[in-house]
Chains A and B, each alone.
Chain A
Amino acid sequence: MLKINNLHARVEEKEILKGINLTVNAGEVHAIMGPNGSGKSTLSSVLAGNEKFIVTEGSVEFEGQNLLEQSIEKRAAMGLFLGFQYPVEIPGVSMANFLRMAVNSQRKTQGLEPIKAGEFLKMMREKAEIVELGDKLMGRAVNEGFSGGEKKRNEIFQMAMLQPKLAVLDETDSGLDVDALRIVATGVQKLRRPDNATIVITHYQRLLDYIIPDFVHVLYDGKIIHSGTKELALEIEEKGYDWIINK
């Protein structure tokens, strides 16, 4: 599904990604861990097409296409979803209006008719339940005045609405209390299917109690320096990163 090969990227004049290699197949969950400032958010931004970051070397193939050639919105319609570490507040744009536009824009790119109003409302109600988001948030502006936990649950709600092939969740667990973490994590778990894949970026092993990863990677200084299975996350929880970095 996703093949990242020797990916280098910079922001302004600073090189941040220094040769990332990663392959993700349908049905898999990959966890990416690593100290602050390693380049985890940069990797997700580069995949999404954030124009602040310039790719200087390497390639990314997604669903058999050259991902790096596509616009941000085309990547989304191809099935790439980014759960933002810091979801953006958009005053004046209602959740319902935003999601209808997002769903219909993606459908249009995929050659489908716009969704029927009744069907859309039903879908909103069903998907909101997955992350226990109440109806009242749907009438509000996107993320405006949402609590930290509501913003993160809203990311997973949008993921449920858009049904991506690949979701990259950037620290969706940070700043959540135990209950919110459980809601977010079981939400992601419910959305797992054999034909989609998830990359979870996290600092904490606790998320991986709910979302069991097939692979765990350590990103440090712009490179994946170590990969393993779910036991690696436990080991990191216990011993930190130094033993890997110093190897």
Chain B
Amino acid sequence: MKTYDITTQQHISDHIQVAGDIDIVYNIRAGAQLDLQQITTTKENAKENAKDSTKINITYNLEQGATLNVNTLDIDNKLLHRTQTFNLIGTGASANATGLYITADGEKSTNNIKMNHLNPNCTSSQTYKGLVGGVSEFLGHIFIEKDAQHTQALQQNHNILLNPSARVISNPWLEIYADDVKCNHGATVGKNDPDAIYYLRQRGIPELDAKKLMLEAFIDECVMNHPSKDELLELISAKLKTL
């Protein structure tokens, strides 16, 4: 397990080539800020050997007034089980989590979110999107402690199915013990809008380009602020070709 102490404002942008389980703790001290961007892909040979899920566990401990912006992009993996635990320990802490997962037929991804509001005046948001050709699971737990008044917690999970055998499991779980909270969540599972594809094609855009354009529009909010956006779009584009 690796532990990092964040005491100022820090920006970490990683591309992890997954080879085995990963365990990381980030302690974000009072008033500090962490902006974390993490792309995960699995090497082809590691994919072939994958029998059990590779586990990525990340815990974030946010002290008073700490800020976290995290963006995870699970693009090309065989069996990936990602758990992120957010402990909003200090008052006024703020966690903003976004993520994208893409699975092809025969692949599975899990995103397990535990958002723990332990003290008053904290805010959290989760926006997770999936392009799903295999199996994808989103488990979003929001826990709000009795004392954690004036909490704001939002959760959105949206998925597009890429083929008839694709499967999405979207499980929001709200566990709220405080009474003065603002909480909302939404989940959708759909397909690329056929009327939009028809409209684009009628203007001369070939079918495959039209579909790709729609998928890029769907994931745009997960990738638009990424520091290595071009590299990222190339990875995604390569993956989409295999779907």
Contacts from A to B (Cβ < 8 Å): 48-51, 71-73, 75-77, 81-82, 84, 87-93, 97-99, 101-103, 105-106, 109, 141-142, 158, 162
Instruction: Give min CB distance, B237 to chain A, whole Å.
Output: 15
What A residues does B218 contact at CB under 8 A? 92
Measured CA separation A209–B204 after assembly (Å): 31
Residue among B203, B214, B218 with the most chain A CB within 10 A? B203
What A residues does B209 contact at CB under 8 A? 101, 105
**B206 on the interface (CB 8 Å rule)?**
yes
**B201 on the interface (CB 8 Å rule)?**
yes
**B207 on the interface (CB 8 Å rule)?**
yes
Measured CA separation A48–B9 after assembly (Å): 55
| Beta-carbon nearest neighbor of A141 in chain B | B217
The reply to whether B199 and A90 contact each other, CB–CB distance below 8 Å, is yes
| Beta-carbon nearest neighbor of A88 in chain B | B199
**B213 on the interface (CB 8 Å rule)?**
yes
The reply to whether A48 and B200 contact each other, CB–CB distance below 8 Å, is no
The reply to whether B207 and A71 contact each other, CB–CB distance below 8 Å, is yes
Measured CA separation A162–B204 after assembly (Å): 9
Which range contains the number of B residues in contact with the other chain? 20 to 34
Residue among A71, A102, A158, A162 with the most chain B CB within 10 A? A102
Selected contact of B214 from candidates A50, A93, A103, A158, CB within 8 Å: A93
The reply to whether A101 and B196 contact each other, CB–CB distance below 8 Å, is no
Contacts from B to A (Cβ < 8 Å): 193, 195-196, 198-207, 209-210, 213-214, 216-218, 220
| Beta-carbon nearest neighbor of B195 in chain A | A88
| Beta-carbon nearest neighbor of A48 in chain B | B202
The reply to whether A72 and B217 contact each other, CB–CB distance below 8 Å, is no
Measured CA separation A103–B207 after assembly (Å): 15
Selected contact of A76 from candidates B195, B201, B217, CB within 8 Å: B201
The reply to whether B205 and A93 contact each other, CB–CB distance below 8 Å, is no
The reply to whether B205 and A105 contact each other, CB–CB distance below 8 Å, is yes
What A residues does B216 contact at CB under 8 A? 92
The reply to whether B201 and A90 contact each other, CB–CB distance below 8 Å, is no
Measured CA separation A116–B200 after assembly (Å): 21
The reply to whether A76 and B203 contact each other, CB–CB distance below 8 Å, is yes
Instruction: Give min CB distance, A44 to chain B, whole Å.
Output: 10
Answer whether A101 and B205 are a contact pair too, CB < 8 Å, given A92-B218, A93-B217: yes
Instruction: Give min CB distance, A78 to chain B, whole Å.
Output: 9
The reply to whether B220 and A92 contact each other, CB–CB distance below 8 Å, is yes
Answer whether A73 and B199 are a contact pair too, CB < 8 Å, given A92-B217, A92-B218: no
Write 23 A-B pairs (CB below 8 A) sorted by A numbering.
A50-B198, A72-B201, A72-B202, A76-B201, A76-B204, A81-B202, A82-B202, A88-B193, A88-B195, A90-B214, A90-B217, A92-B217, A93-B200, A93-B213, A97-B213, A98-B200, A98-B213, A102-B200, A102-B205, A103-B204, A105-B203, A105-B209, A142-B199
The reply to whether B200 and A90 contact each other, CB–CB distance below 8 Å, is yes
Measured CA separation A141–B214 after assembly (Å): 12
Instruction: Give min CB distance, A11 to chain B, whole Å.
Output: 14
The reply to whether B204 and A90 contact each other, CB–CB distance below 8 Å, is no
